[in-house]
Structure 1
Amino acid sequence: MASAAPTSQSRRSLAAVTSWLRRTLRTVRAGFPLAAALRSVVALALPLLLGLWTGHTVPAVFAAIGALWGVGQDSSSPYRLRMQRLVAVGLASALGLLIGELALRSGDMAAVAGCLVATALVGGLISLRGPILSVAGMQLLLGTTVGSGIAVSGPWWQPPLALLSGTLLVTVLSTSPWLWRRHRIESDAVRAVYRAAARTLAAVGTPHAEAARRSMTLALNDAHDVMAPDLAKAARHQSVDPDTRRLLEALRLAVRLGGVVSAFVWEGRPLPHCVAGLPLAMAERLLPPGGTATEQRLVPTENGVPDCDLRSPALHALVELCGTADAEAGSDVVLSVPARPRPGRTVHLRYAVLLAACVLVAYVSALLLHGPRGYWLPMTVAFIYKPDFGPVLRRAVHRCVGTVVGVAATGAVALLTGNTPYALIGTVAVFGALMAVGVRHHYAVATTGLTGIVFVLVDLLGDHRPLYGTRILDTILAAAIVLVANFLVWPDSADSWAAAQTDAALLAVRRYRDLAPSATASQRQTLRRAAYRSLADARRAAAQAHAETVSPKRGLPDWEATIIAAEQVCDAVTAQALTGTGGSAGDHAPDSA
């Protein structure tokens, strides 16, 4: 019996590790990004083909590197936001490449190390200040690592301009559909809110109602993010085109609909199909596929909703919302949601210093192992140590797995095709399409594509060294450097951020609970959206904190239970607001995480 306990403990540990690996390696469910894959093929292959035909190989390779980084940041966001993101990638990468190239041409390794540390500090300081700056900070460091690790001849200004041109090519390919489908992405995001509301109404009275309501909250958050530039213009009372105004009006009604649906969830009474289908009818009325609103009214009276409890305040509110949609179509749209809480200055500084230290250790390690031009180690550190992109441990595992698979795939392709120029360009195109898929589905898949592309590009620059084993060892070493910094030097980074996000969410919930009885309808909408958005952010931060450890029994607080209780308070306050009464249903809001 003495050996049974260790065996049982070993089995539990193995089960925990297996469960963590299953969570870590799961893919994101989404449709196949055919358009993004085709953009990647064109953006990567076109510069290389032009370089081959004209004899300007070096500028072509750097243009392909710029296209590679542009593909890595390409997304399905609105075209204006997509353009801002890709332009930031191009400018930051070109600036970093210029800095690294000038440092390398000085011949002073101390200057190279100083440039890497300085750009890591700058990149780290700005990385946690928003999505655009986060990408710009990482690309600034990536550009410096490549510029300081790849020696090229010719004018100093040529590689940065070539890299910028490759990124701009991706920008043009990615944003050109704006010419014929200008508001398609925004319209899809707002329409998704109505679909999520319909699914939530269908789930009311079942165990799935809370999960469905959370999905509707996420859809509303996404719609607000997508429409953020237009919301800002409307808040400043600037003129907008009719299509944009129609979208803003649909979003405003979607926010009101979200409150009504939350009240239905709190009431908990199952609803007939005619009620569950009303959000879809509203979407068809407000956002028809043809782009022109229809003229029929939705549900003008409660008699249009048979077999329902007409004493339900939520039903009264839903009928009123449907009946007044036409009358309010020309009203001013003013929606505002408070900005998300961000880490404080201490967190920014600590992350920047740790990132700079990791880059310096990686650079010194590369010098000791490979001599000058060891860019892979610091570049991998820059890719992995991005806590705002997801759990660091998961990114490290994905990076290592993707590198191993990419090295194996590159070796197999090299044996099958040889090193002929057109075969190499074809290989880049295939790996580029794979990377575009991985960007949207799985980081390890994206790393596999990136690894193969970098091998080919380095080979086109004339570096024919056998680097297969070296790349794997460098990636593992870079991951180890980052994990030591993240778990030994700053072990509570994810935990403290999850606790801070949860406290901020509870504060938003208490504000909504305390101010809703005396607030106007517009103010209640803003307070409610701020509370639900903060709760969604807290749930995301809590999930990341749990994902940073293999063992689920590390003694972390039960943030999920706190968040669920706070969501129920929000639902109760919303229902009370619809009845015009106060009450004590929301008086027991959780006060801390």
Structure 2
Amino acid sequence: MTPAMRTGPGPSSGTSAPARLLRAVGRPLSSLPLAAAVRGAVALATPLLVGVQTGRVVPSVIAAIGALWAVGQDGSDPYRSRVRRFVALGLSASLGLAVGELALRSGPSVAVTACLVVAALVAGAIGLRGRTWSVAGMHLLLGATIGSGIPVPGPWWQAPLALSAGVGFVLVLSAAPWLWRRHHIERAALLAVFRAASTALTAAGTPGAAETRRRLTDALDNAHQAMDRHLTAARRQAPGAQVEALLRAFRLAVPLGEAVTTLQWEARPLPAAVTRMPLVMSNRLLPDRKDGAVLVLPDFTADSPGLRALAHLSVTADADRVDTALDAPAAPRPARQAQLRYAVLLALCVLAAQVCAGLLHSPRTYWLPMTVAFVYKPDFGPVFRRALHRCVGTVLGVAAIGAVSTAVHSTYAFIGVVAFFGALMAVGVRHHYALATTGLTAVVFVLVDLLGDHRALYGARILDTALAAALVLVVHFVAWPRSAGSRADSRTEAALAAAHRYRDLSPTVGAVQRQALRRAAYRQLADARRAAEHARREPTLRGAELPDWERVITSAEELCDAVTAGSLHATSGRAHTTVIVPSSDAM
């Protein structure tokens, strides 16, 4: 790699939380997840409308709480992943709610405290094992918090069933498009790879090349995860026509990443005919069903190994097959010691929050431990930033619902308010945590009001949120100040090992194994870079200088780039120059 392609390490920029929130609110309309916003509004308003019409307000509010939590975990990932996540959320939250209710009905406050501490221990023990487990753990604790903090009339099993119904409603809304857009997500993920490849080729020979290659790696990782189920199924039986088209595009996308990396490593500006090639390939493999037009492959002179590899892919895409046994890159797993420490610290924070709530005689004491459950999620990003955004979002949510309450008095108008803030929360989930917290805070105030608690608790809730965030930060940074740094250390070490494994084994293995080694190396380097970015955003109480992870990661990326280019140089014939003159049915 030439010096022009290098990027300095440097810490991430320190933009303030309010500035980032305003930037998220000001995004162009085309970039907002409108479908998710509609789902959020419908999911929260529908149970309340049903409850008002039938006179069963309490179960409808509990169902709306389940829908609220599910909207917070909605996403644009493959439908099966969403279903697994929603099922885990519904089961764990309902279990926590039932246990919390039983603890509250048993009478003594020590039973409630013991219930919350045990739930926190379990949530912490499973919370770092991946996204689905993390969601299950957090909502187990949230369910126990709500169940032990809000008295619900009726049999103990009624509220958990209502909560599950609310989660199930969001599941149906989120997964229903599978019926008529069955492979839309996989198709979108693959098209994103080809667009990222075109952008990376355009940046070849410029200082921004390395960043575009990283974005291509992220796009490939996303596509690999989206296609993983189809890759596994293709080993057992022949896929249908639609899935085969997706597999064909994926089989081209994987070696395309190798060719693009090589062309960037060659570090020379490329003509438009070359930079457009990935877009033309995607158009021919996954044509737009609306216009039906198929672009013609442009002519260019293939006078380097990278260009010859690109030319070979463009002409023989149907014949070139990456083995479907290529597994998706595995997500890194935390050490058992880290999981145990997180479980103990989460339980300690919940215990401290519950004690503080009791000492303050705060009405409806669930808010303090609930905030702890939301804030103390180190696997979701920097703890300090999450706590700050939680506080900012709570203040904005309280201000918003306070202003609305002065002008709105009808129950149906309040349901409309819930729909609006549910849509706002759905947008915030994808763009900014403070924005999501703003929507969630406003919705919770309306739901609590519908349960019969009409007290003005605006100041108390801001104080509770600030206190819970402070508890989390004090406990976390006193007992585990190097957690983010240790995570960055371990991810960087794992990425270096993967890069060296790719370097050492690449010359001796076949194309399929080489692609697997390359994908694993780049995936772990991307994970290490994200971990380093998170670590730099966490304040450290020790005052020690952080390692220069970015420099190490950049060097490892350059090593992988060189190995990739060397592999294609070794396999590409140098005795001839190829000129591509494709026919209309070349692919």
TM-score (normalizing by structure 2):
0.91
Cα distance change of structure 1 residues 458 and 412 upon mapping to structure 2, 3 Å threshold? same
Counterpart of 1:528, as a letter, is R
Over the aligned positions, Cα root-mean-square deviation in angstroms equals 2.3
> Which region of structure 1 is more displaced relative to structure 2, 336-345 or 402-411?
336-345
CA distance in 2, matches of 1:182, 1:516: 37
- The CA deviation at 1:83 is 1.6
Cα distance change of structure 1 residues 214 and 55 upon mapping to structure 2, 3 Å threshold? same
Secondary structure, in 3 states, of the residue corresponding to 1:227?
Answer: helix
Counterpart check, 1:322 vs 2:314: yes
CA distance in 2, matches of 1:116, 1:551: 29
Matched ranges for 1:373-522 at <5 A? 373-418=364-409, 420-522=410-512
CA distance in 2, matches of 1:328, 1:21: 48
Counterpart of 1:357, as a letter, is L
- The CA deviation at 1:239 is 4.3
Cα distance change of structure 1 residues 551 and 242 upon mapping to structure 2, 3 Å threshold? farther
Secondary structure, in 3 states, of the residue corresponding to 1:340?
Answer: coil
For the 8 Å contact 1:410–1:455, the answer to whether it is kept is: yes
Matched ranges for 1:166-245 at <5 A? 166-234=166-234, 236-245=235-244
1:68 corresponds to: 68
Counterpart of 1:448, as a letter, is T
For residues 110-153 of structure 1, the C-alpha deviation after alignment (integer angstroms, 9 at most, x for no partner) is 21111111111111111111111111110111000000000011
Counterpart of 2:313, as a letter, is L
Matched ranges for 1:28-43 at <5 A? 31-43=31-43
For residues 487-539 of structure 1, the C-alpha deviation after alignment (integer angstroms, 9 at most, x for no partner) is 11100000000010000000000000000011101111000000000000000
Secondary structure, in 3 states, of the residue corresponding to 2:31?
Answer: coil
CA distance in 1, matches of 2:436, 2:493: 35
Secondary structure, in 3 states, of the residue corresponding to 2:425?
Answer: helix
Counterpart of 2:245, as a letter, is R
- The CA deviation at 1:237 is 2.7
Seq. identity, %: 60
For the 8 Å contact 2:66–2:165, the answer to whether it is kept is: yes
- The CA deviation at 1:297 is 8.1
Counterpart of 1:45, as a letter, is A
- The CA deviation at 1:580 is 1.6
- The CA deviation at 1:17 is 11
1:162 corresponds to: 162
Secondary structure, in 3 states, of the residue corresponding to 2:554?
Answer: helix
Matched ranges for 1:519-534 at <5 A? 519-534=509-524
For the 8 Å contact 2:481–2:541, the answer to whether it is kept is: no
How many aligned residue pairs are there? 557
Cα distance change of structure 1 residues 371 and 401 upon mapping to structure 2, 3 Å threshold? closer
2:582 corresponds to: none
CA distance in 1, matches of 2:228, 2:140: 26
Counterpart of 2:300, as a letter, is V
Counterpart check, 1:364 vs 2:316: no
For residues 269-296 of structure 1, the C-alpha deviation after alignment (integer angstroms, 9 at most, x for no partner) is 2111111111111101111122999999
- The CA deviation at 1:481 is 0.6
Cα distance change of structure 1 residues 238 and 364 upon mapping to structure 2, 3 Å threshold? farther
For the 8 Å contact 1:17–1:550, the answer to whether it is kept is: no
1:51 corresponds to: 51
Cα distance change of structure 1 residues 455 and 188 upon mapping to structure 2, 3 Å threshold? same
1:259 corresponds to: 258
For the 8 Å contact 1:193–1:216, the answer to whether it is kept is: yes
1:570 corresponds to: 560
CA distance in 2, matches of 1:524, 1:116: 49
CA distance in 2, matches of 1:50, 1:245: 44
CA distance in 2, matches of 1:196, 1:17: 24
Secondary structure, in 3 states, of the residue corresponding to 2:189?
Answer: helix
Cα distance change of structure 1 residues 141 and 27 upon mapping to structure 2, 3 Å threshold? farther
Cα distance change of structure 1 residues 40 and 568 upon mapping to structure 2, 3 Å threshold? same
Counterpart of 2:517, as a letter, is L
CA distance in 2, matches of 1:551, 1:105: 42
For residues 443-500 of structure 1, the C-alpha deviation after alignment (integer angstroms, 9 at most, x for no partner) is 1111111111111111111111221110000000000010012211100000000010
Counterpart check, 1:305 vs 2:295: no
- The CA deviation at 1:21 is 5.0
- The CA deviation at 1:230 is 2.0
Cα distance change of structure 1 residues 75 and 427 upon mapping to structure 2, 3 Å threshold? same
Cα distance change of structure 1 residues 470 and 296 upon mapping to structure 2, 3 Å threshold? closer
- The CA deviation at 1:431 is 1.2
Counterpart of 2:532, as a letter, is A
Secondary structure, in 3 states, of the residue corresponding to 1:580?
Answer: helix
CA distance in 2, matches of 1:430, 1:294: 40
Counterpart of 1:342, as a letter, is R
2:9 corresponds to: none
2:580 corresponds to: none
Secondary structure, in 3 states, of the residue corresponding to 1:398?
Answer: helix
For residues 377-406 of structure 1, the C-alpha deviation after alignment (integer angstroms, 9 at most, x for no partner) is 000000000011111101100100111111
Secondary structure, in 3 states, of the residue corresponding to 2:72?
Answer: helix
2:269 corresponds to: 270
For the 8 Å contact 1:398–1:443, the answer to whether it is kept is: yes
1:349 corresponds to: 340
For the 8 Å contact 1:201–1:261, the answer to whether it is kept is: yes
Q: Which of 545, 548, 556 is matched with 1:555 structurally?
A: 545
- The CA deviation at 1:298 is 4.6
Structure with more relative contact order (C-alpha pairs < 8 Å, separation 6 or more) = 2
- The CA deviation at 1:184 is 0.8
Q: Structure 2: any 5+ residue segments left out of the alignment?
A: 1-11, 573-587
CA distance in 2, matches of 1:209, 1:439: 30
For the 8 Å contact 1:186–1:226, the answer to whether it is kept is: yes
Counterpart of 1:216, as a letter, is L
> Which region of structure 1 is more displaced relative to structure 2, 94-103 or 80-89?
80-89
CA distance in 1, matches of 2:310, 2:358: 67
Cα distance change of structure 1 residues 100 and 183 upon mapping to structure 2, 3 Å threshold? same
For the 8 Å contact 2:323–2:512, the answer to whether it is kept is: no
Cα distance change of structure 1 residues 293 and 466 upon mapping to structure 2, 3 Å threshold? closer
For the 8 Å contact 1:213–1:262, the answer to whether it is kept is: yes
Structure 1 residue ranges (4+ consecutive) displaced by more than 6 angstroms after TM superposition: 291-297, 550-553
> Which region of structure 1 is more displaced relative to structure 2, 113-122 or 284-293?
284-293
Q: Structure 1: any 5+ residue segments left out of the alignment?
A: 1-15, 583-593
For residues 326-382 of structure 1, the C-alpha deviation after alignment (integer angstroms, 9 at most, x for no partner) is 2347x8533224422211100000001100110111111111112684100000000
For the 8 Å contact 1:546–1:552, the answer to whether it is kept is: no
TM-score (normalizing by structure 1):
0.90
Cα distance change of structure 1 residues 427 and 23 upon mapping to structure 2, 3 Å threshold? closer
1:6 corresponds to: none
Q: Which of 543, 546, 551 is matched with 2:533 structurally?
A: 543
Matched ranges for 1:65-214 at <5 A? 65-214=65-214
